[in-house]
Amino acid sequence: MATMTRRNVLAAAGVTTVAGTTALLGDDKVTKQRYLFQNIPPRELIRQRHLPNVELVTMDGQKVHFYDDLVKDKRVVIQFMYTRCKDVCPMVTHHLVEVQRILHDRVGHDIFFYSISLSPEEDRPEDLKRFAEEHGAGPGWLFLTGEPNDILLLRKSLGFTYDDPVEDADRNNHSGMLRIGDEPLMRWATCQGGANPKWIASVIQNEADAPFKGAVNGIRQADPAVHKD
C-alpha cells in the first residue's frame, strides 16, 4: 500500500467532499464545480464554493453573469422570490423597498439589491419587471431569472437550502431570508427579511460600514467597494 502522505489525505478528502455534494444535488441533475484544496487562496475558495458565475437575465432582458457582473467588487443584498408568491415574498419585497428608502442613494452606489426568481420556469423578465414596478423597487435593484439548474446551483451555493428534501422543495422556505455580502472583504451574513425594515437597514449598514469605522495608526481605511467614477 502506498504511503499516506498529508497531500494524499487532503486529495482523498477533496474527492469525498465532491462525491457527497454530488449525491446531495444528484436528484436535481446539478453538478457542482469540482474544487481542490491545494494552492487556492481562501478567498478564491469561498468564491468557487459559494459564488458561481452562472448566467442570469435581468428584468430588462439583459444577460449578466452572477459573479463577474453582480457580485465582484460590490456590496450586495440578495433575496430569493417568485412573482406568484402570495405572502412571504411580497412582504419581504415591501420591506426591502422600505430599506431602500432608508439607505437612500447608497443603493446603486455602494450597495446593490438583487432579487432572484425561485420559479425561473414561469417568471419571464417581463413578469419580474411588472413585479418590481408594482412594488416600487428603485434604481440599483435588479430582478433576475435564468436557467432552472443555474438558479438551483446559485440558491444552494448561497446557503438557501434545507437538508430535508421535503422542506427544501418548498419555495416559501427560501424566500424569507436575505443574504448580505461584501465581496471585497468576503464578509457574508444573513438577515431575516421578515424583520422590521429599520432593523434590516441597520444590519446592512453595520455590515457595510463597521470595517471602515476605525483607523489604523491614524490612517483611515479606504473602502474598496466605493466606486469613485
Partner 1 sequence: MQLVNGVIQPFLSVNKRRYRFRVLNAGPSRFYELFLTDPLSPGTVIPFWVIANDGNLLPTPLQVTSFRVGVAERYDIIIDFNQVKTLIGAHTTVRLENRLEQTDGQGPTCNIFPGGQGIYCLEFRIGSAVADGSVNPATHPQFYQLPSVITPRVTRNFVFDRSNGQWVINDRFAACTEMRFTVEQNTAENWNIINPRSDWQHPIHIHDEEHRILSRSNNGGHHSSLSGAVSSFSRGDCPFDGGGAGISTQFPGVPNVEVSRKDVTRLQQDETNLLFFRFRDFAGDYPMHCHNVVHEDHAMMLAFEVQPGVIDDNPNP
- Binding positions for partner 1, rule: CB under 8 A: 88, 160, 162-167, 170, 172-177, 190-196, 198-199
At its nearest, how many Å lie between partner 1 and the CB of residue 165?
7
Q: Which is nearer to partner 1, 57 or 177 (CB)?
A: 177
At its nearest, how many Å lie between partner 1 and the CB of residue 69?
26
Q: Compute the distance between CA of residue 18 and CA of residue 10 in angstroms, rounded to an integer.
A: 12
Structural contact between residues 144 and 128, judged by C-beta atoms closer than 8 angstroms: yes
At its nearest, how many Å lie between partner 1 and the CB of residue 174?
5
Q: Which is nearer to partner 1, 48 or 79 (CB)?
A: 79
Residues 6 or more apart in contact with residue 153 via CB below 8 angstroms = 25, 30, 32, 52, 54
Alpha-helical runs (H) found in the chain? 6-25, 42-50, 88-103, 125-135, 148-157, 165-168, 197-209
Q: Which is nearer to partner 1, 88 or 185 (CB)?
A: 88
Q: Which is nearer to partner 1, 194 or 224 (CB)?
A: 194
Structural contact between residues 208 and 109, judged by C-beta atoms closer than 8 angstroms: no
Q: Which is nearer to partner 1, 59 or 81 (CB)?
A: 81
What is the per-residue burial (b if ≥16 Cβ within 10 Å, else e) of 21-56?
Answer: beebbeeeebebeeeeeeeeeeeeeebbebbbbbeb
At its nearest, how many Å lie between partner 1 and the CB of residue 226?
27
Torsion of CA 59, 146, 17, 67, to 10 degrees: -40
At its nearest, how many Å lie between partner 1 and the CB of residue 198?
8
Q: Which is nearer to partner 1, 104 or 198 (CB)?
A: 198
Q: Provide the β-strand partners of residue 205.
A: none
**Cell numbers of 76, please?**
450586495
At its nearest, how many Å lie between partner 1 and the CB of residue 160?
7
